[in-house]
Structure 1
Amino acid sequence: MTTTQASASAPPAAVPVHQRVAELAATHIGPWQEGYLSDRSHAVAALARLRRGAGRGAGETPDLWNLIDTDALHTPATGTTATDTRTLGEQQLVRAENALHAALTLWAFHQQSRGAPMHRRHTRERPAGLGAAVRQLMPADGIDEPVRKRLVRAGTAPDLVNLTQRLRDIVALLRRQDIPLDYALLAGQLYCWQWPDGPAAVRRRWGRSFHEQYRPRPASDETTTPDTDKDAS
């Protein structure tokens, strides 16, 4: 069998957990956001419930357990063969559920009383990662040091609950200026943040997107496909 044939017949690699978390966050937010902006009662009620969980741990908000559907996290990730089956371990499940809870509740707080979508997917042309969003709070020709320090303080939080509380303060500033954020990307990053060496890796992504926000793009970038990699910022 040739290398090409072997590659063609190989099953697809399992989807990384952080990407599964990101996709599940987008799946939840999409209908809620559309419904809220259309003033549909079920979405308005869901947002009101979610907002009460912003800045709190998933275990502290039992009212949301039947609202945030995590069944997809308990379903094995499968490839094309019966043997390519991977279930999440207990630590993976807990951290995935925590990240999903944090991202969804922060989005609900951000979306409250806003007439435009506050969740927007990140692309190369329109960055929507946390660092890029924070940079938009600042003047184009300078750095607002107190705002920058909020991002730094969030990155040095001792645990996820403290991180979510510090992110809530940042989201309040973004909300005031109608600056959207990619909450699917954030959900995946919050999952990664909970693992050893995760905080340092996530801080690097936030810092990179912060500094790249106003960097001039090469002319060749104008014809490239938008970068939707969830680790991009």
Structure 2
Amino acid sequence: MTTTDNTPDVRPVAGRTRLFFWEEAVQDWRSARKDGRRPQFSEYVARSLRALREGVGREAATDPSTRSVHRVPLQDDGSGRLSDRYVAEHHALILFGLHQHAASEPVHRPGVGLGTACLLLRRSEALSEAAVERRLIAAATAQDLHELVQHLQRLVPLLRQADIGLDYTRLLRELTAWDAGDRNRVLRSWGMQYTDPGTPAPTDGEVAGQERAPYWATFDSGSPDAAAELAALRSGIGREPGTVAAMWPFYRTRMASEWRDKGSLTRDLAAEHIVLTLFARHQQTHARRMHVAGDSPGTAAGRLARKAAADSEGKAATAALERRFGTLLTSADADELAMHLRSFVPLLNRAGIGLDYDLLRTALRTWDDPRRPDAAADFRQRWDRDFHIAVSS
């Protein structure tokens, strides 16, 4: 873990006059070093940390010894119910106490989200990749705040053992949001942090810095995990991109760290999410990879129409497919295009006809992008031409 000499100074943010306890602990530790003393916590901080560890399992506001470290006011609105933020701070304090126990440096690390911390844990090789993902996904699929905290209480000691810190101010915001309607943004933030590709290390036959190939381009039906992977991707059908923990290991989307940390929903992520779910549905029951470079939706639809005609379904079937494909071409935006593709892909699956998923991702990414006003028209023209070529060939 980076030494605290490189940790940015912690100051109250706008609208907050006092530091949170974990921020005070960082300053307390740093002040000893600045004074030329051996870096350590003051008696007040050490005593408070002991009280927090002893408070594991207790409900918020029931332990008098920890009230002094709360910064969120304990307000009585007459309902007898604690505020979500106060309860979230209680849990964040307990987690901080567990995390800080026996650590050589302050574990509050501004800028290190939970997803980033788990990525660092995976890279540390203290645990296997599968073990880290299992713990992160367990936390991400918690049904409520209580269950989430139970998983985090088992995770933070592992972070401590690997000398990995965590931004507890950010975690407080995320715990507050968990049951307050903004869970999807929290999930997307964790997932995008954990899947941050950074600068990929070269493998055999690759060039340093080369982008990782998308999942559909590397899918191996002979892998013992293939069926489980496709099932994980299908679980994201109809779900908001970035919020399905089982899909996180399959994302390759790059985005600015600020957007990643905020859990922003970008066009790139939305397009990749849709394509992953479409590919998983398309690949189901097939040994041959259904991603076929160069086969546009027009080509695939044309082959489907030709196959229908050859199967004695006649001109009526061909005309029906042409009408269906025409509806797809007239999609007004990427959402409508995705809707039509979801009904189109099962037909290709049954017929064993492939599709270029790289092309599909580009189309979904740019179809209604205001910076590419001609993109949809270009795709319509090319796919329509591909359809008629495939039908007549």
Superposition TM-score tier, normalisation by shorter sequence: 0.5 to 0.7
Shift of 1:20: 8.2
The answer for the alignment partner of 2:122 in structure 1 is 138
User: Relative contact order: is structure 1 or structure 2 higher (C-alpha 8 Å, sep ≥ 6)?
Assistant: 1
Change (3 A) 1:20 1:145: farther
Question: What TM-score do the two structures reach when normalised by structure 2?
Answer: 0.41
Question: Which residue pairs with 2:199 in the alignment?
Answer: 216
Compared CA separation, residues 34 and 55, structure 1 to 2 (3 A):
farther
CA distance in 1, matches of 2:171, 2:64: 23
Are the counterparts in 1 of residues 28 and 42 from structure 2 also a CA contact under 8 Å?
A: yes
- Report the counterpart of residue 350 of structure 2 in structure 1: none
Alignment check: 8 A CA contact 2:135 2:155 kept: yes
Structure 2 residue matching 1:64: 3-state secondary structure: helix
Indicate whether 1:190 and 2:175 are aligned.
Answer: yes
Preserved CA contact (<8 Å) 1:102 1:164:
yes
Percent same amino acid at aligned positions? 29
1:25/1:184 contact within 8 Å kept: no
Go from structure 1 to structure 2 and tell me whether the alpha carbon gap of 1:94 and 1:191 turns closer, same or farther (over 3 Å shift).
Answer: same
CA-to-partner distance for each residue in 1:138-188, whole Å, 9 max, x for gaps?
A: 137996112111111111112212211110111011011110111111111
Counterpart amino acid of residue 215 in structure 1: G
Contact 1:155 1:199 in 2 (8 A): no
Select the residue among 103, 107, 113 that pairs with 2:102: 113
2:122–2:129 Cα contact (<8 Å) kept: yes
The alpha-carbon distance between structure 1 residues 229 and 121, as it changes in their structure 2 partners (threshold 3 A), is farther
Q: TM-score, normalised by structure 1?
A: 0.66
Match of 2:55 among 35, 53, 56: 53
Change (3 A) 1:200 1:227: closer
Match for residue 30 of structure 1 among 17, 23, 29: 23
What is the alpha-carbon distance in structure 1 between the residues aligned to residue 47 and residue 65 of structure 2?
12
Structure 2 residue 112 is the aligned partner of structure 1 residue 95: no
**What runs of 5+ residues in structure 1 fail to find an aligned partner?**
1-18, 75-87, 123-127, 219-225
* Corresponding position: 1:67 with 2:69: yes
Comparing 105-114 with 140-149, greater Cα deviation is found at 140-149
Structure 1 contact 155–163 (Cα < 8 Å) conserved: yes
Q: Distance in 2 between matches of 1:46 and 1:205?
A: 31
2:185 to 201, 212, 215: 201
Is the 1:50–1:104 Cα contact (8 Å) retained in structure 2? yes
